[in-house]
Structure 1
Amino acid sequence: MKLWQALALTISALSLFSCGTPQVLDVRPFHIRQVKVDDSDDPMIRGEFQRRFHGAISVEEQGQRMGYYYTVLWNDPSSTGAGEVVFEFQQGATGSRVKKMVHKIEPGETKGKAEFAIIGDDYRPKGEASAILAWRCKLYREGREVASRQSYLWQ
């Protein structure tokens, strides 16, 4: 009987730990380094690759789609005012210069998705690929910062 009680206590404790608050901001990176995807790759990776390359027929068009893609999912039910998702990044080719991309959020939206792509000439300045060294993403609502995520190299 003591084993059963210990097991019940452990299960209830674990269920309490899993009841965390939902993430307000989630960043999902995807990097395309080559034009061809291997058949041995994960089906989800092949699907994402095909989605990003849809409509690119020539080799030049496919080359322009190589680069870094960041999908940002945000969920902020605490506020319904206007806001923005700000994505900042540093590249190897630009040194310490911080580049910024912004996605506007309309008033009334409490959740959504923003796509940021560093592709084409932004990805291949002077003909060679320029790696993203660090990135940071912030969610602003009504002028105040609500949430932030960053790569481990961001300073």
Structure 2
Amino acid sequence: MKLWKPLAVMISALSLWSCGSPQTLDVRPLHIREVGKGDTDDPMVRGERQRRFHGAIGVGEQGDRLGYTYTVLWNDDSSSDSGEIVFEFQQGATGSRVKKMVHQIATGETSGRAEFAILGDDYRKGGRVLAWRCSLVRGGREVASRHSYLWQ
């Protein structure tokens, strides 16, 4: 009978702990290497592949859609200043050169989605992406950052 108070406190603490704040920056990579169907893939991956290849009629058009796509979801309630999402990456054929892509964030936006793609000729000539880093910059300061394992 005396255990109900500690149990109630523990359940309350666990429920509050599980309601953590959402991530400020989430990066979801997708690598499509070949045009073939890939029937053994996960259904979600298969659906994403079909969406990416939708409308590509010939093998040449399908080949232009091979490569890497990074979907970045951001949520920053701390500031409503204008800013940018900076995506930096290194490819196999470009050595240690760091390439950069930028997505502008309008003033007042607190959440959104950006997509960065290394497809077609960029993918064929530059090779596979070896390392990447994505950062959310607001008002000249870095708010959040994510990077791959090999990023230095």
Q: Shared fold by TM > 0.5?
A: yes
Corresponding residue for residue 64 of structure 1: 64
Identity, in percent, stands at: 74
Give the structure-1-normalised TM-score. Answer: 0.89
Q: CA RMSD in A?
A: 1.8
Q: What's the offset of the Cα at 1:39?
A: 2.7
Q: Which runs of 5+ in 1 are unaligned?
A: none
Corresponding residue for residue 154 of structure 1: 151
Q: What's the offset of the Cα at 1:70?
A: 0.1
- 1: CA distance, partners of 2:3 / 2:37: 51
Matched pairs, number: 152
Q: What's the offset of the Cα at 1:113?
A: 0.5
Q: Which runs of 5+ in 2 are unaligned?
A: none
Give the structure-2-normalised TM-score. Answer: 0.90
Matching residue within 133, 136, 140 for 1:139? 136
Deviations 1:23-67 (A, max 9, x none): 111000000011122233222111110111111111011011000
- 2: CA distance, partners of 1:108 / 1:51: 31
Once superposed, which parts of structure 1, at least 4 consecutive aligned residues long, lie more than 4 Å away?
A: 1-10
Secondary structure at 1:30 match in 2:
strand
Corresponding residue for residue 81 of structure 1: 81
Secondary structure at 2:29 match in 1:
strand
- 2: CA distance, partners of 1:136 / 1:2: 52
Any residues of structure 2 matched to 1:76-155 within 5 Å, and which? 76-125=76-125, 130-155=127-152
